[in-house]
């Protein structure tokens, strides 16, 4: 298989397969959570579930002072690589083209140098995160093999994307194929690992906020 053929394969059948696994997996997991439902609260409501739930989705994104002091590295590093990953994913022109192909909508892209710098910062941060996970006793104790797999699959698209953009080491079609392939790998394992938090964090925060909201307190 030539690099060009590999590129065609990852842009064709492999992407179709990864999309099916990703979409079916995410849909099943979300529906399972929703359909399990919650025990009815028979007490009289003292506030709005909906407002409390929505407010908590946002408020939990802002770290409280105590958490920031206790786990400053986790909070700061987490923010940096999440923001870098998000911006590179949704605001790099070739990615927008891909998303336009799927959803039919365009939005402006960010300058490539900016995305490039973000990618480098995200890669460095993710390496620091791994170092922290390995060297921190509690973190290491809590880590499972699937956590390391999730880390690897998160950093791979960033590294391969950087190499593909700068065309370092290998033939450009091969680098591009490796980049797209690494994203497909991420899509395939996504619903079955902690990476699913990208969707479930909203459900979790909403539930917490709604429970508190019904009782008339802030979550």
Partner 1 sequence: MTKDQTIGEALRARGVSRRGFLKFCAATASLMALPPAMVPKIAAALEKARRPSVIWLSFQECTGCTESLTRSHSPTIEDLIFNSISLDYHHTLQAASGTAAEEDRKTAMKENYGKYLLVVDGSIPVGNPGFSTIAGVSNMDMLLETAAGAAAIIAVGTCAAFGGIPYADPNPTKARSVTAFLKEYGNRLPNTFTVDETGQTDPVDVTNKPVINVSGCPPIPVVISGVLAHFLTFGKLPELDSLGRPMAFYGKSIHDRCYRRPFYDKGLFANSFDDEGAKKGWCLYKLGCKGPTTYNACATTKWNEGTSFPIQSGHPCLGCSEPDFWDGGGFYKALSTPTGDITRTAVYAIGAGAAAGVALGALNRSKRAHMRKTHSKVGIDDLEKGDKS
Nearer to partner 1, 23 or 217 (CB): 23
Spatial separation of the C-alpha atoms in residues 77 and 127, rounded to whole Å: 10
**CB 212, CB 52: distance < 8 Å:** yes
Spatial separation of the C-alpha atoms in residues 133 and 74, rounded to whole Å: 10
**CB 126, CB 155: distance < 8 Å:** yes
**CB 219, CB 175: distance < 8 Å:** no
Spatial separation of the C-alpha atoms in residues 182 and 87, rounded to whole Å: 18
Question: How many CB atoms within 10 Å of residue 191?
Answer: 19
Nearer to partner 1, 50 or 97 (CB): 97
Radius of gyration of the chain (CA): 20
Nearer to partner 1, 7 or 219 (CB): 7
| Min CB(36)–partner 1 separation in Å | 6
Q: Does 200 bind partner 1 (CB under 8 A)?
A: no
Nearer to partner 1, 115 or 219 (CB): 115
What are the tokens at 42?
């028979």
Which residues, numbered 99-138, are part of the site for partner 1 (CB under 8 A)?
Answer: 101-104, 106, 108-113
Q: Does 71 bind partner 1 (CB under 8 A)?
A: no
Nearer to partner 1, 52 or 157 (CB): 157
| Min CB(52)–partner 1 separation in Å | 25
Q: Does 86 bind partner 1 (CB under 8 A)?
A: no
Binding site for partner 1 (CB under 8 A): 2, 4-5, 7-8, 11-13, 15-16, 19-20, 22-32, 34-37, 93-95, 97-98, 101-104, 106, 108-113, 167, 171-173, 176, 180
């Amino acid at each position: 298989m030539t690099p060009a053929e590999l590129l065609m394969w990852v842009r064709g059948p492999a992407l179709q397969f990864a999309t099916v696994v990703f979409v079916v997996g995410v849909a099943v997991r979300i529906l399972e959570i929703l359909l399990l439902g919650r025990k009815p609260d028979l007490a009289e409501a003292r506030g709005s579930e909906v407002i409390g739930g929505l407010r908590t989705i946002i408020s939990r994104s802002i770290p409280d002072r105590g958490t920031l002091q206790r786990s400053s590295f986790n909070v700061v590093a987490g923010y940096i690589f999440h923001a870098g990953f998000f911006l590179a994913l949704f605001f790099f022109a070739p990615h927008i083209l891909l998303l336009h192909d799927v959803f039919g909508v365009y939005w402006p892209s960010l300058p490539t140098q900016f995305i490039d710098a973000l990618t480098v910062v995200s890669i460095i941060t993710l390496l620091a995160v791994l170092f922290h996970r390995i060297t921190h006793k509690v973190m290491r104790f809590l880590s499972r093999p699937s956590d390391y797999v999730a880390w690897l699959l998160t950093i791979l698209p960033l590294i391969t994307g950087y190499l593909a953009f700068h065309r370092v080491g290998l033939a450009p079609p091969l680098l591009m194929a490796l980049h797209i392939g690494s994203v497909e790998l991420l899509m395939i394992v996504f619903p079955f690992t902690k990476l699913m938090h990208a969707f479930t964090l909203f459900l979790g925060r909403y539930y917490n906020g709604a429970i508190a909201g019904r009782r008339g307190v802030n979550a």
